Structure 1
Amino acid sequence: MVVLGVILSCLLLVVIVKIILLGRPRSSKTQTVRSTPLDQVPTLFLPGYLGNRFSFGFLQNRLVSKFNANKSMVIIVNRHGKLRVIGQMNDYRTMIQVLFKDKTSRPKQQAIWLLKICQLLEAEYHVSSVNLVGHSMGCITIFWYLTHEQAKSPISVKRVVAIAGPFNDSEIARSTPDVDAYPFNANGPVKRMPIYRALSQKIAAIPPEISVLNIAGKINDEQQNDGQVSLNSAFSLRYLLQQPAHYYREVVIRGKWATHRLLHENRLVDANIAKFIWGV
């Protein structure tokens, strides 16, 4: 029994350490042999509602292991918007994990904090451009930033990856009894929710050179959603971006690993991010 207790304690310690490390930098051990302009743009990862180090921690670890990326920095935003930086900037496939201490903060507030992060990256690390990756409500934060705060930023946004973005949901941070899936006509969703309307009013503010990859999940042919966000809600973004989008592509992930909470643990999502961001 004593031996078993020691083994269980050791296993628990290993699990705790791994959980802690999900919120810490991690660099690739592979020697960099070449670098392209795509490799030199840092990529920020923004979690969804109630998101934490788990939200993108495992995904970033896989990108480090398989695609020679570097999780160089973690930026923690406290409830008052003060930034704490862990790690140092890398010049090759840099990934930056953004963690909000106030996990219930809304996209409008998070977009202001994202502006502060961009200002810090330019002032302290001489960053001139970034990529942005968001999951769920994190997608709304990104597009609220692009439409309402980007003009104040000293750095540009090159590429955006939206994963399960609720762009035409009645609630963007809560589950509803029914998954919103309003049909489209030639002009977009036949019923437009407040968040869609708010973004559409300022969508022309998005710089035209931005490229967008929009990823959504479909559990099966009968269930055209990921359990929380429908394909129609996620892909309503295409109608918002008809004019300002330089490049726009949609990807549907299918199957049991395409649920809302598992999309960022799906290896197909990893591969699509790596190809879109770094061209690998």
Structure 2
Amino acid sequence: MQKMIKGLVLIISFLLVFAGVYYAKVRYFSPGTLAKQKNIRYSNVPTVFIHGYEGNSFSFGPLLRRLERENVAKREMTIVVQADGKLTVEGKLKNRNDNPTIMVLFAKDVPDEITQSKWIDNVMRYLYQQKVTRVNLVSHSMGGVSSLRYLLEYAGNKTPVTERFAAISAPFNDLEIAEDTQDVFAYELTEQGPSGETPIYQYFDQAMEKLPKNIHVLDVAGDLKDGTESDGSVSTHSAFALRLLFQKHAQSYQELTVTGKSASHSSITKSTKVEKKLIEFMWKKTA
């Protein structure tokens, strides 16, 4: 019995050490610079990653680690937004044309997209004070709704110009933005637009004129192929609900649907299909 207990303790200890090492790799920075790839466009324009409700380092950390390992983009900064909106900054932008990435974390779950959009504005104003004049923006779930609200409400006033915006599984036409419901909500998306409009969609419809004119947009949705036309939390109809509005007001608009097990709401940011599309959208050289 004692041998069994000791064995279990050793296994648990090993798992804890392994988990700690993995967390450190996801959360913190590695030294060195990137080995430049011929087909990648490198610059000092940071790409800022915004997680959704109940998100954390693992929302985008694994993706950012892979991008660095593949010499596409370099992790250089983490900005933690405290419960009162104040910022704790880790790392430094090094101006090495390494496609720097910035992971934004919220120390306490933000209960609504209105507050989160204000906190994103705080981040962007800080970056502007650091002489950052241009950024790209990648977001997941409620973070996508908050990021778009930021672009419509705050962008342009002592903030960097957002050149490219990617929204992954963002509930643009949902009744509940920050919480999962038992059933996946969806108004059917038709060729003329959504068959019904929630308050958040109506807001975007009225405010879309304020979208930065030269912005390029990538919209990503997940479909588990289980009959729900959703990623288990957000319907494809909701994720793509702003299609006609983006097509009208953005410089360019692209869509990507991820299917199968990797399309689940919590896993989609780790999907290799999403990674490949982001690289193409953000950094790939065009012929």
Partner of 2:122: 116
Partner of 2:182: 177
Partner of 1:245: 250
Q: Using the TM superposition, give the Cα deviation of residue 101 of structure 1 relative to its aligned residue in structure 2, in angstroms.
A: 1.0
Query: Bigger CA drift: 171-180 or 75-84?
Result: 171-180
Select the residue among 68, 87, 90 that pairs with 1:83: 87
- CA distance in 2: counterparts of 1:249 and 1:22, whole angstroms: 29
Partner of 1:12: 16
Deviations 1:164-198 (A, max 9, x none): 01000111111123212212344311210011111
Q: CA RMSD in A?
A: 2.2
Structure 1 residues 85 and 260: CA distance shift in structure 2, 3 A: same
Partner of 1:204: 209
Q: 1:69-108 alignment to 2 at 5 Å?
A: 69-90=73-94, 91-108=97-114
Query: Bigger CA drift: 34-43 or 182-191?
Result: 34-43
Structure 1 residues 157 and 30: CA distance shift in structure 2, 3 A: closer
1:202 corresponds to which letter in structure 2? Answer: A
- CA distance in 1: counterparts of 2:127 and 2:117, whole angstroms: 15
Q: Could you tell me the percent identity over the aligned residues?
A: 35
Structure 1 residues 174 and 248: CA distance shift in structure 2, 3 A: same
Structure 1 residues 257 and 250: CA distance shift in structure 2, 3 A: same
Q: Tell me if the contact between 2:72 and 2:279 (Cα under 8 Å) persists in the aligned partners.
A: no
Structure 1 residues 213 and 28: CA distance shift in structure 2, 3 A: farther
Partner of 1:165: 170
TM-score normalised by L of structure 2: 0.90
2:161 matches 1:156: yes
Q: Using the TM superposition, give the Cα deviation of residue 217 of structure 1 relative to its aligned residue in structure 2, in angstroms.
A: 0.8
- CA distance in 2: counterparts of 1:72 and 1:232, whole angstroms: 35
Q: Which runs of 5+ in 1 are unaligned?
A: none
Deviations 1:74-132 (A, max 9, x none): 000101111111011133111100001121332211211211211111212x1111000
Q: Using the TM superposition, give the Cα deviation of residue 237 of structure 1 relative to its aligned residue in structure 2, in angstroms.
A: 1.6
Select the residue among 136, 140, 155 that pairs with 2:141: 136
Structure 1 residues 153 and 179: CA distance shift in structure 2, 3 A: farther
1:12 corresponds to which letter in structure 2? Answer: L
- CA distance in 2: counterparts of 1:189 and 1:240, whole angstroms: 11
Query: Bigger CA drift: 88-97 or 215-224?
Result: 215-224
- CA distance in 1: counterparts of 2:107 and 2:33, whole angstroms: 30
- CA distance in 1: counterparts of 2:64 and 2:268, whole angstroms: 13
Partner of 1:32: 36
- SS of the residue corresponding to residue 214 of structure 2 reads coil
1:267 corresponds to which letter in structure 2? Answer: T
Partner of 1:273: 278
2:246 matches 1:264: no
Q: How many equivalent residue pairs?
A: 279
Query: Bigger CA drift: 102-111 or 82-91?
Result: 102-111
Partner of 2:46: 42
Query: Bigger CA drift: 163-172 or 98-107?
Result: 98-107
- SS of the residue corresponding to residue 222 of structure 2 reads strand
1:181 corresponds to which letter in structure 2? Answer: A
Partner of 2:240: 235
Partner of 1:226: 231
Q: Which runs of 5+ in 2 are unaligned?
A: none
Q: Using the TM superposition, give the Cα deviation of residue 71 of structure 1 relative to its aligned residue in structure 2, in angstroms.
A: 0.8
TM-score normalised by L of structure 1: 0.92
Q: Tell me if the contact between 2:41 and 2:284 (Cα under 8 Å) persists in the aligned partners.
A: no
- CA distance in 2: counterparts of 1:171 and 1:73, whole angstroms: 31
- CA distance in 2: counterparts of 1:27 and 1:212, whole angstroms: 32
- CA distance in 1: counterparts of 2:63 and 2:83, whole angstroms: 25
